[in-house]
Copies of this chain bind each other. A is one copy, B any other.
């Protein structure tokens, strides 16, 4: 424990050879006579020698590690993203190192600077509060990719269309007063609240209605935020459905509903976003939007690798599908008002207007 770690010089001396020979024995970059090699490896074992990571990194000018910066990982969608990222980077034999910024936004910047001071070869910025441009400045000459918000990622997520789809879906099922709880982890150039407000206003207008701006509550991707947002929206009265920018937030809707004796989906319908594994375990299983984690991770990593190799990616963007995973948290209001309470769930027939998966 307390003892100093052995260095390559210790091994060399013990084996009666020069440090360069030890180095070559380890790397296999040149032929070493068998007896010498054996002596060296024997001493390495005896001294429990392990090459200093830093010294190696300094010489090679590379660490084989990618740093991922994230606020916290208690949110299941964040942790799923991290696991997937780790698996994907492994394919390029990069190790992943995660930095947790915590709730303090200033610490995020510090972490990015820290990481990019040679600690890692490249950085993936998952902090919603730091834009791609800011991240690039903070990281200096270290390549950085800011998740999906990066212009260069050949992949696009059409949140506006998704909002329209969800609105259509709910409207078709007879919902008229629909609330939304925002997620901060969207495009910082166009906050979720603002974007959704615009889409909802247009949508309602086309149906001859007007949006009450209080129907959109600020969320923070946490359960508590979901509870508070639901409270705010439900106070407005006659709400039949709430959708959320994040599953964790939607769990908060479930919590609020239970605490207030409100039934899902009979009294209130809910739709989440992410489709984290826990969404299916709720009772009733939650209807939510499948976030294309794997595709996004694949492209994020591909872009980072390209930057590391100083290559550019072929142009062209594809828009990724974000299908609605239809489970059992949304009621068909038409049937309810028709008095058929028991069969309040939407039928299994595929909705034509919106990409969906029936589970």
Contact = CB atoms under 8 A, between A and B. Distances in A.
Interface string A92-103: 000111111010
Interface string A262-300: 001000000000000110111111000000000000000
A213 interface: no
Q: Which of A2, A74, A90: most chain B Cβ within 10 A? A: A74
Given A5-B141, A74-B76, A117 B281 contact: no
Contacts of A281: 223, 251-252, 254-255, 258, 282
A309 to B, nearest CB: 10
A111 interface: yes
A143 B2 CA distance: 8
A100 to B, nearest CB: 4
Given A53-B119, A97-B98, A99-B95, A283 B254 contact: yes
A80 interface: yes
A100 B83 contact: yes
A307 B1 CA distance: 8
Given A74-B80, A278-B223, A283-B254, A86 B114 contact: no
A90 B102 contact: yes
Q: Which of A52, A75, A80: most chain B Cβ within 10 A? A: A52
A322 to B, nearest CB: 20
A83 B76 contact: no
Interface in A73-128: 73-76, 78-80, 82-83, 86-87, 90, 95-100, 102, 111, 113-114, 116-119
Nearest to A77: B74
A223 B277 contact: yes
A291 to B, nearest CB: 14
Interface string A61-83: 00100000000111110111011
A3 interface: yes
Contact of A76 (B76, B87, B143, B257): B76
A310 B1 contact: yes
A206 interface: no
A119 B83 CA distance: 21
Interface string A22-57: 000000000000000000000000001011111101
A116 B258 contact: no
Nearest to A307: B1
A51 B95 CA distance: 23
Contact of A58 (B50, B54, B74): B54
Nearest to A48: B140
A306 B119 CA distance: 26
Contacts of A264: 283
Contacts of A2: 141, 310
A260 interface: no
A4 interface: yes
A118 B52 contact: yes
Given A73-B82, A255-B280, A282-B254, A100 B102 contact: no
Q: What 4 pairs across the A-B complex have the smallest Cβ distances?
A: A98-B98, A251-B281, A86-B100, A53-B117
Given A50-B116, A50-B140, A258-B285, 6 more contacts: A72-B86, A74-B83, A78-B79, A90-B102, A223-B278, A254-B282
6 contacts: A2-B141, A50-B117, A52-B118, A97-B99, A98-B98, A251-B277
